[in-house]
Amino acid sequence: MTPSRQFPADHFLNRELSLLAFNRRVLAQAADEHVPLLERLRFLCIVSSNLDEFFEIRVAGLKEQIKLGSHAGGADGMTPLEVYRRVTVLAHGLIADQYALLNDVILPALAREDIAFLRRSLWTEAQRDWIHDFFVNEVMPVLTPIGLDPSHPFPRVLNKSLNFAVELEGTDAFGRNSGAAIVQAPRALPRVIRLPKELSGIDHGFVFLSSILHEFVGELFTGMSVLGCYQFRVTRNSDLFVDDEEVKNLRIALQGELPQRHFGDAVRLEIADNCSPAMAEFLLQQFGLDLSDLYRVPGIVNLVRLMSVPDQVDRPDLMYQPFQPGLPKVLAKRYDIFASIRKHDILIHHPFQAFNPVIQLLQQASDDPQVIAIKMTVYRTGTDSVLMQHLLRAAERGKEVTVVVELMARFDEEANLSIAARLEEVGAHVVYGVVGYKTHAKMLMVLRREDHGYRRYIHLGTGNYHPRTTRFYTDFGLLTSNPEIGDDVNEVFKQLTGLGKATALKHLWQAPFSLHSNMLASIRGEIDAALAGKPARIIAKMNSLLEPEIIEALYEASSAGVSIDLIVRGVCSLRPGIKGLSENIRVRSVIGRFLEHHRIFYFHADGRQNIYLSSADWMERNFFRRIEISFPVLEPKLKQRVLKEGLKPYLADNCQAWEMNGDGEYLIKPSRRNRSSAQELLLADLGVSVVSVT
């Protein structure tokens, strides 16, 4: 149950403002000349993708609260209206800086490398002919222009889709002269089209779909004059609502709700900066938005579409140097995964080490006649995941396969519904956890019959079972056959698939039951040690830090003299370095090539050095509204590995680490001498080899 204690509002920073500050740090990667050019373009696109979700979820939530007349603030005390006003100002500034960086820096730099986006005004006659043929043959057949008049009302506009508002003059064959039309660009059309080299005159010449439509839109309105054509894009509320108390079948309820995601309430309107004031006002009225929700942009309205460009350009010299993930020494040669895990626990550090051992565990389990049952949680994995293929094969071979599929994994709901249906078709047991609690724990359990009875083989992770993201996210995975951990994992699966009271677990801390209280108890253990004059130390690495009671406990620990280092990639509501409150707390955020994703919690514990890994951030939702686990690293050698690889390099990073102050501002001071980059160090230490670019 969520704590109801109230703490001073000035102890906390606002969540939404902190999230925008995080995107500022990501944008700084796009501005960093030390980052390869095409990767800078990717970072620019990532900011757009992040902001889309920010508007779809966070801004949409603020607007809902304002509409309902709510004045209730969060822990920081700001009302929804106050937050919305500040967010609007900061978001406009961030987006303006983003486009300035694109237009003034990134695109000119790409052009110098023969990677260019050809402007309409500069097309040659030959280029125009080719592009016109493309329009006639590939684009025009799938377009449905909609003239606006009493029999053609304003169309339903999909969330984040590309559309064009067209101002017209003249009358058509039926004498209509409404003066306006809407053209919706189907999502099947590519937004960036590559021209043949012999036409573009450069190695990599592209043209935007929006440029093509602007140039030839008149052909959709025969005999009419086009006065203006303006691209626009609307962002909608994409949060799904399923009534936990009323729902009878979560799967059916979700299937009914998903189609509405594309047509939720509008929260943001992006338009081309040349759009006429009259058309901008008309569009705002159609979507029920205010002027503050209008974002005029000098370029294409969806920068996420540029994410495909690096993959279309064969320029490895403009991208991060490729690397080959390594393997723990015990798995470096041909191995029997079960024998290796029986020998001792195995820690895998992604992406520096390969995800393949986890795939190997599931593959061998599906083929091994001694394996009786497989149980697994699925939050995000992808519909074409090799893990799913092994689960399907295991079920087809008659093994007892149980999969806990989280249907409410945001933006993965449709993929997970598809996975659930395929598993059920081959006889697997599919359950959806507990209504009202997202199953976010990452667990895989294989039950194998051996000489002395059954043995459980376990994988626990800080990240998703998604082979693709394991190449870009930093995460830890633990393979173990420890019987007590196996008992704990089995107990959690029993809760998820059956009914019964929660029992005390031997090693795992579990949300919503014991995770919060055990974290608090560990912090208080360090407080007691400090007050007794003993060494006291806390190091925690996570994505987000928001939960008020944990933050207050950290303040108390700081006041008692506990040395605290927090590595928080994204949102942080704690104020570090404030005299009398948090002068012994330091907060840093590391932004680099890989998305920092693992959650690591270190407590000195009177020299025992307790280390827990988890899929849970220090947020209310993770502690009280999700099913999460935090698992200990028990073997001393593996503890030292976590310290050496997961914490110390990030505390020593002087290249990509941003230091946070008590006002929520982040500063980075890259060192020119004795450079230390955590991610580069780990690539060198753990990767098999770095492939040279020729």
The CA distance from 657 to 676, in Å, is 10
Q: Is the peptide bond prior to 8 cis by the omega test (within 30 degrees of 0)?
A: no
Nearest to 232 by CA among 196, 284, 197: 284
Nearest to 537 by CA among 630, 490, 605, 482: 605
Other residues' Cβ atoms within 10 Å of the Cβ of residue 663: 9
The CA distance from 526 to 561, in Å, is 9
* Residue that has been written with the tokens 């560990």 in this structure: 522
Torsion of CA 193, 198, 203, 204, to 10 degrees: -10
CA angle 206–207–213, rounded 5-degree value = 165
CA-based radius of gyration for the chain: 27
Is the distance from CB of 529 to CB of 641 less than 8 angstroms? no
Q: Which of 350, 440, 459, 466 is catalytic?
A: 440
Known active-site residue 440:
yes
**Edge-to-edge order in the sheet of strand 266-272:** 146-147, 180-184, 163-169, 225-236, 266-272, 294-297
| CB environment 10-23: b (16+ within 10 A), e (fewer) | ebbbbbbbbbbbbb
How far are the Cα atoms of 163, 203, 214, 221, 408 from residue 178, in angstroms, in the given order?
Answer: 18, 45, 20, 12, 44
| Both structure tokens of 617 | 């951030």
Other residues' Cβ atoms within 10 Å of the Cβ of residue 650: 27
Q: Where are the alpha helices (DSSP H) in 10-161?
A: 15-31, 37-53, 60-67, 80-101, 107-112, 125-134
Chain centre distance of CA 352: 19
Is the distance from CB of 284 to CB of 266 less than 8 angstroms? no
Is the distance from CB of 191 to CB of 162 less than 8 angstroms? yes
Is the distance from CB of 345 to CB of 478 less than 8 angstroms? yes
| Both structure tokens of 488 | 């704990």
Q: Is the peptide bond prior to 351 cis by the omega test (within 30 degrees of 0)?
A: yes
The dihedral sign for the CA sequence 463, 75, 294, 239: positive
The CA distance from 239 to 152, in Å, is 30
Angle between helices 37-53 and 15-31 (to 10 degrees): 160
| CB environment 418-439: b (16+ within 10 A), e (fewer) | ebbebbeeeebebebbbbebbb
Residue 510 DSSP SS3 = strand
Which residue numbers are catalytic? 440
